[in-house]
Amino acid sequence: MKMSAQDMLNKFSDGSCHPFLVRDLAFIIFDETSKNIKEMPEKYKKYLEVSSLLHDIGYCIDNKAHNKHSMKMIMEHGLVGFNDIEEKIIACICRYHRGGLPDKKEHEIYNTLDKKERKIVKKLAGILKIADGLATEKQNLIKNITINYNKEDKIAEFILMPCVKEFLPDITTAIRKRDLYEIAFKCQSVLRFAD
């Protein structure tokens, strides 16, 4: 029997606020990207929400390759309110929130998706990777994000507004995790704090 995202989160996570912090940051990045770079349908936001909440459930099996375990768990349990293709999309978004990039020749679930579906995975996993890199385990240190997009040079500038002006959180993980976003949206990206 399929499970809801909330039931799956309750059963397989440690109760950390991290998934909710990631979701909130992912929504901001989604909205800014959709407004300034490439418009995306609202239903993609639902995929992103569920992926944000479930991206780390694989930790209950093993720390190493937890992203792959998250994907497998979603495929095994299924998700209430989503069809088989949507479950695969969400599972793959979780799979690619860290580690290697999607590979249609090597990755068994990803390669069953068609081209349009693979593009959805890349876009949303790219957003999720950055959001995950910006979110801490305990508290939200980023209050807001705006994206300025230079169409001519294809550069997306992420302007980060910290919650406390005097304390700039470490964003090196987010900088390291922007590769898939750049591939998906065919741009370069810069992450910096607001002046």
Q: What is the pLDDT of residues 61-96, one digit of tens each?
A: 988 899 999 999 999 999 999 999 999 999 999 999
Q: What is the pLDDT of residues 32-51, one digit of tens each?
A: 999 999 999 999 999 999 99
pLDDT at 63: 84
Alpha-carbon radius of gyration of the chain: 16
The pLDDT of 153-161, averaged and rounded, is: 97
In this structure, what DSSP letter does residue 166 have? T
In the chain, the N- to C-terminal Cα span, in Å, equals 51
Q: What is the pTM of this model?
A: 0.96
Q: What are phi and psi of 61, to 5 degrees?
A: -100, -50
Q: What is the pLDDT of residues 104-137, one digit of tens each?
A: 889 989 999 999 999 999 999 999 999 999 997 6
Say which range, 94-98, 135-139, 166-170, has the weakest mean pLDDT: 135-139
Residues 6+ apart with CB under 8 A from 151: none
5-193 domain in CATH 3.40.50.1100? no
pLDDT at 3: 94
Beta bridge partners of 161: 144
Averaged pLDDT of the chain:
95
Is residue 168 predicted with pLDDT exceeding 80?
Answer: yes
CB under 8 Å, gap of 24 or more: what pairs does 44-47 form? 44/120, 44/123, 44/124, 47/86, 47/89, 47/90, 47/93, 47/120, 47/124
Sheet containing 188-193, strands listed edge to edge, beginning at the edge strand earlier in sequence: 142-150, 155-162, 188-193
Taken in order 127, 67, 175, 105, the sign of the CA dihedral is negative
Taken in order 162, 164, 168, 174, the sign of the CA dihedral is negative
pLDDT at 136: 74
Closest residue by Cα to residue 10 from 52, 46, 53, 48: 53
pLDDT at 138: 66
Where along the chain do its domains lie?
A: 5-193
